[in-house]
Structure 1
Amino acid sequence: MEATLEPRLVMRGEEDEPFVAGEFFVAAYQRGYRWGRAEVRQLLDDIKAHARNAEKRRALPTDYYLQPIVVLKRADGTWELVDGQQRLTTLFLITKYVATKFSDAKLDYWLTYETREDSRDYLDTLDPDRRDDNIDFHHIARAYEAIVEWFGEQQSAGQAAIDLHSALSKWVRVIWYEAPEGTDPNELFTRLNRDRIPLTDSELIKALVLSHSGAADGKMGRQQEIAAQWDAFERDLRDEEFWAFLTRSTTRKPTHIDFLFESMTPHAGMRERPRYWTFGKVQEDIATRGQPSFGATWLSVTDF
């Protein structure tokens, strides 16, 4: 089985829209939950700011992409959460709070920590008498307090909960990466966390392009051809004189091919691109054209 890469809403939205659901298992090789008040509030502030920026433009919010969630299917049908524990746990706590204020909100996923007995029950109840049973429960309790505090600071906690529900079920998405069957989760976790360098738009686009090209014709040859073309584009864009001519800058980037995709996806009306906005526009293009016409998407890149 090949890897699966797709955007998923955090909460259930319109019919046929993929969303985060199921039981997630956090294995012992991971550290526990450690996000604090600052990280929790930053996530909430970012979502609110994205909605406000759209309102100022008198437009609907564009899709807002969070960092990837990397999972591996387990034999019992649950998901091993290889990367993204901090984000997914925080989003769980946010949706849990929203559900207390807005009856239409519903939790569709749960988390279990291998190293913490009854962790699923604790996340369900957030029993204050158990918050100091271990360091993970302590941090989870503090994160939830930060969420309650943030909503309490809004003009109306109830309306803010409705707004968050709308965001999480319509335009806030995680980038869902399902590792191929047989992947060693310990090795994958180590590789993902060794340098902690965020993935670029182009790296996510590359995974999306290659996964669709393989599905489109069932041949490895097409994937290898695209991968070779991709490397050639990156190599050409790394030529210092050519790069300076194109960008009027000598600033180097982790991946220069991002410039190509950014040029193909103008963002008129926005002062800056939201995180993974370019990836989202390419994903929309592929979805609009349909899998049988995938070649047209890549042709538009090579002919640009």
Structure 2
Amino acid sequence: MPNNPDITPLTVAELFNQGHYFIPIYQRNYAWGEPEVRQLLQDILDESRRAKNSRHPASQYYIGSLVVDKRGEGQFETIDGQQRHTTLCVVLSALKNEFADSINQQSCLNVKATEDTPFQKLSSLSLNLSFTNRKRSTSTLALLAQGITTGCEQASMHGAYDVAVRFFEEHKQELCTLTDYLLNNVVILRVAVPKGTDLNHYFEIMNNRGEQLEKHEVLKARLMRPLGIDERKVFSTIWDACASMDRYAQLGFEKSLRCTLFGANWDQHPVDFESIRQEMVNSDSPAPLVSLEEIVQHPVLQDKKENPVNDDSEQYASIISFPNFLLHVLRITHVSHIDTDVPLDDKRLLLAFERFSNRTDEDIATFSREFVMNLLRCRLLFDRYIIKRKNDLDWSLEQLKPNETRHHYVSSGGDFNQQLIMQLSMFHVSFPTQVYKHWLSAVLYYLLKQHQLGEFRISQYPAFLDQLSNKFFYGRFGKQPIEYFDICFEDVMPENDFDHHNLKLGTHIQNFIFNRLDYRLWRKLKDGHEFDVDMDFVKSFLDKFRFTFRTSVEHYFPQHPIAGEPMDESILHSFGNLCLISHSDNSKFSNNDPATKKNQVKDKLNREQLAESLKLVFMMSYEHWDPENQPAMIQHEKMMVDVLCS
């Protein structure tokens, strides 16, 4: 590191032991969600594991910069980096408040006798971040620092706290090592701007600075290098068509090639790389030679607004990024040729491909042709059989079809379309972070195999997704957990032996469990199943139910009721009294009684036409939900567990 007094590398422990930081009003609100928080924590966990397994001393792991304006001795105004700094503050609060005992009990063999333990260092840290003229943000951060999660008005911070708690619960056996690495080896660079800098102008520049070449662009160049000129054009065309994740892949090809490559209905897969090369070469026949005089006398005017490739008026939001999609394709097309799994971490994209791109030119060329064809096949399957976001509330499962004028969209699943959307969105919202979307690898692998064998039937797709749900449920939450790789790619079916301890974790119960239950409730209701509840009330919510990104586990009967008697804790924290809702709803619910919450949900249904949780709807169907009616609550839990495990 250059000897520059304006650039100071700080470990996380040093960051929270030195100085105070103010977030100015011109900065946006804290906005990180579950994907960003989980990704940061996963990166730090991965680095701590590498350090633990290495023979060399643990290296420093840089997580970016914190650009500040020094206002006085130990006083800094943050210009850039507040999202990461705030997240670290919330994460450390979660560790101190929820897991201090676990960290203290675990042995820390890598800590010298003369050093403070991670528990001691964690305990000594103090909150050193506040927001100028944002009382809600400052108040929420202060409450979370004390472990108080009720009354937090800043929903994003509260959400980050919950995400951190669930993440640490999942990796509870590694908390001592993780905390030690986080405090001592994770480093942020504090960069002080020169005195007299126009901060508003500097902030504007920081937020409009250019982007460096992305990893997938570097990878594309590496894989194209040993190919011939014609082959490079084929590779680049396929790659670019697949890279536009919010547009159907066929639209990335010239209009004249679409029916030739994909069939009259645009639903076929090209045979191989060479056949595409031949078609593209033939379509590029040279134009007749024309003299300059003829061009001037008979100009051919072209409408500059017309783009023969990007002619898609519909916009669909993909559930993953292109770099992440590349890793799924690498994973499923080389599953039988790799000795270790491919992590779905796009920051390691180049490293994941290194074993295939660090060979002779001939080997790289062979791999490039094979991979780009698998990329196209998987992308066509992804477009047709994996959900997309069509608007803020709806999921889409549609395929692209040509017509006489342009193109149109029809449902991919026919009579099964609604069921497939529910199944796929259930998986998607249960694992919002891209690095955990193992289910998508399993689905693409199944679709690719079935199409290659010519055995795919849309009527069999829902049954496969139900089976995959069972494999995730019993494979990950059974008494003998199975690795994700084996669940996705090996022909294993775990025993139906659910470990009910997973339902006794209170607000740390995993999202997938709640979402699986909601899907199974939805399916049974659609099939006409009757439950021993107010069925008219339940059915009034059924058609408005959608899977959304819900990350807050809420007590229906509150932990600290505003009025009335408290609930016996064994019932209060039981699965029967819990449901999964959004953080905005959690903030509104607060410590309200069930009757008030019921009216709030009804109001939301009238305003937004959206029901978030069928389990919550079932709880609301009971006339009374209070300490005097505990038998009904116990009966509800038994009913829900039967549906969950049936």
Q: Relative to 1, partners in 2 of residues 1:34 and 1:169: Cα closer, same or farther, differing over 3 Å? A: same
1:98 is matched with which residue?
95
Where structure 1 has 5 or more consecutive residues not aligned to the other structure, the ranges are: 13-17, 200-243, 245-273, 276-304
User: Are the counterparts in 1 of residues 69 and 193 from structure 2 also a CA contact under 8 Å?
Assistant: yes
Shift of 1:55: 3.2
- Indicate yes or no: 2:146 matched with 1:128: no
Question: Map of 1:183-198 to 2, 5 A cutoff?
Answer: 183-195=197-209, 197=211
Check the 8 A contact 1:37/1:143 in 2, yes or no.
Answer: yes
Q: How far apart in 2 are the matches of 1:154 and 1:115?
A: 37
User: 2 CA distance for matches of 1:51 and 1:60?
Assistant: 11
**How far apart are residue 129 of structure 1 and its match?**
3.5
- Matched AA of 2:10: R
Tell me which amino acid in the other structure corresponds to 2:83.
Answer: Q
Give the 5 Å matches for 1:158-237: 159-160=174-175, 162-195=176-209, 197=211
Of all paired residues, the percent bearing the same amino acid is 32
Contact 1:83 1:192 in 2 (8 A): yes
Instruction: Determine if contact 1:71/1:81 at 8 Å carries over to the other structure.
Output: yes
Equivalent of 1:113, from 131, 135, 140? 131
Larger-Rg structure: 2
- Paired residues for 1:246-285 under 5 Å: none
Which residue matches 2:42?
45
- Residue identity opposite 1:7 in structure 2: P
SS of the equivalent of 2:197 reads coil
**Alpha-carbon distance change, 85 to 197 in structure 1, aligned in 2, over 3 angstroms:** farther
Kept in 1, the 8 Å contact 2:23–2:82? The answer is yes
**1:79: how far off?**
1.0
Instruction: Tell me how far 1:19 sits from its aligned partner.
Output: 6.6
Corresponding residue number in structure 1 for 2:13: 11
Q: What's the counterpart of residue 153 of structure 1?
A: 170
> Comparing both chains, which one has the higher relative contact order based on Cα–Cα distances under 8 Å and sequence gaps of 6 or more?
1
The equivalent of 2:18 in structure 1 is: 21
Q: 3-state SS of the aligned residue for 1:128? A: coil
Q: Which runs of 5+ in 2 are unaligned?
A: 101-118, 214-224, 226-346, 349-646
Instruction: Give a deviation string over 1:117-142, Cα, whole Å, max 9, x none.
Output: 153342121343433x3xxx110000
Helix, strand or coil: the match of 1:52? Answer: helix
Shift of 1:196: 6.3
Counterpart Cα distance in 1 of 2:73 and 2:163: 34
CA RMSD in angstroms comes to 2.9
Question: In structure 2, how many angstroms separate the alpha carbons of the residues matched to 1:198 and 1:78?
Answer: 32
Measure the CA separation in 2 of the matches of 1:55 and 1:128. Answer: 33
Q: Kindly provide the amino acid, as one letter, of the partner of residue 130 in structure 1.
A: G
Tell me which amino acid in the other structure corresponds to 1:112.
S
Using structure 2 for the length normalisation, give the TM-score. 0.27
Give the SS at the match of 1:28: coil
How many Å separate the matches in 1 of 2:87 and 2:189? 16
- In structure 2, the partner of 1:144 is 161
Residue pair 1:9, 1:173 contacting (<8 A) in 2 also: yes
Distance 1:61 1:85 in 2: 27
Cα drift, residue 198 of structure 1: 6.9
Q: Contact 1:110/1:120 (CA < 8 Å) preserved in 2? A: no
| TM value normalised by structure 1 | 0.56
User: In the alignment, which residue of structure 2 is the partner of 1:34?
Assistant: 31
- CA contact under 8 A between 1:22 and 1:109: conserved in structure 2? no
The size of the alignment, in residue pairs, is 190
Please report how far the alpha carbon of residue 53 of structure 1 lies from its aligned counterpart in structure 2 after TM superposition: 2.1
Aligned partner of 1:213 in structure 2 is: none
Deviations 1:20-56 (A, max 9, x none): 6222111111111000111111111111111222333
**Change over 3 Å in CA distance of 1:166–1:155 after alignment to 2:** closer
